[in-house]
Amino acid sequence: MTSIFFVVIFFFINACEDEDDQLRDITIISPENNSTVSLNIDIEFIVPEDIDKVELFINGESTNIFDDEKPFDLVWNTRNYLDGPYTIHIEGIENNGEILTSNKTNITLYKTVELWGYSFSVDKTTEINLNNNMLKGSIPVNIMNLTNLVSINLSYNQLIGFIPKELANLSNLENLNLSANQLSGSIPFEFGYLENLSKLDLSINQLTGAIPNTINNLTNLEEVNLSINQLISTIPSNLDSLVNLKYLNLSSNELHGSIPASLGYLNNLSKLYLFRNNLSDLIPETVCNLIQNECQISVYDNQFCPPYFECLGDVVGAQDTSNCDQ
């Protein structure tokens, strides 16, 4: 009985010691192990209460980046470091002089992004203008690392493949022009996250599928050009949320269904091009609102059925009415 009692006490003491050791650990929370980082890095970590000073080490060497005032704050300025892999850890000095060492965290530092032989600074690049440069291949996914981008123009090149959905991570993007390439696949629905986007031009490609309904989230849009593709869908019915839209070109696709009545409520719309599609049914009377606002409208080469509202005048143009009820 006595031996069992001592065993229990032994395990209890060890458990307490283990718990105490865990409380005395220095733990790096951010950046996470095996992550990719850039620019200045704010190190997030947990330290025991009896630590008086902390210091950052990179690849086992002191950086002279330290803090001796609580709450501790360590920021790694990467300006003088080359792109590549690094290992960081923190050392803390207790009030009794003992040194505690944190876990080691492996990271990859990048401050530049290589695209088609050009080098772009992560922190300084706000615009990429490589139109008409005979660029080939697909759009590299690592373009998403240029988080300060406001404008991308890759038009009139020979780019192929899908449009990377990772472009939606560029939250500052205002202008995206990928026109006149050979891009295929669908328009990423993730583009609905680009809330600052004002100009979107994906025309003259080989895009298929639907116009994503998430486009209605882009309330800052002023110009949209998706013409000369192979889009097969209806026109989203919720475009009336695009209150700043001035130019909408969906011509020369394979769009079907009717014109949403909601388009007629876009009071800032000055140009609407829907010609050369498979649109049908009646043209909604709300389109007359656009005509009254002197909006240029072109809807010829579709399958719109009469009768046509008088306000439309010559706007209707030639239509295939073979499927209309006579």
Take residue 89 and report the two structure tokens written for it. Answer: 């850890």
- Which residue segment(s) compose the domain that 100 sits in? 24-109
Please state the pTM of the whole predicted model.
Answer: 0.77
CA-wise closest residue to 302 among 323, 279, 274, 282:
279
> Could you give the 3-state DSSP secondary structure of residue 43?
strand
- Bridge partners of 257? 279
Residues 122 and 266 in one domain: yes
Number of domains in the chain: 2
**Residues of the chain below pLDDT 50:** 1-13, 15-22
Kindly state the tokens that stand for 190: 């993730």
- Position 261: which residue type? A
Residues 6+ apart with CB under 8 A from 243: 219, 266, 267, 268
Report if residue 13 sits inside a domain: no
Tell me if 104 sits within 8 A of 88, measured CB to CB: yes
Exposure of 56 in the CB half-sphere (CA atoms within 13 A)? 24
Spatial separation of the C-alpha atoms in residues 99 and 238, rounded to whole Å: 62
Three-class DSSP category at 235 = coil
Q: What is the pLDDT of residue 90?
A: 95
Q: Which of 75, 109, 143 is the last residue of a domain?
A: 109
* Domain-located, residue 320: no
- Give me the pLDDT at residue 37, please: 83
From 109, 137, 157, the end of a domain falls on 109
Radius of gyration of the chain (CA): 30
Q: Which residues contact 29 (CB under 8 A, 6 or more apart)?
A: 44, 45, 46
Same domain, 134 and 222: yes
pLDDT at 24: 63
Neighbouring-strand partners of residue 300? none
Q: Cβ-count burial of 323 within 10 angstroms (0-12 exposed, 13-18 middle, 19+ buried)? A: exposed
Residues 190 and 230 both lie in one domain: yes
- Domain with residue 252: its CATH number is 3.80.10.10
Q: pLDDT tens, 121-130?
A: 888 899 999 9
The pair of three-digit structure tokens given for residue 300, joined into one six-digit string: 């010829």
User: What's 82's domain CATH number?
Assistant: 2.60.40.10
Closest CA to 28 of 40, 41, 42, 44: 44
Structure tokens at 193: 């996250």
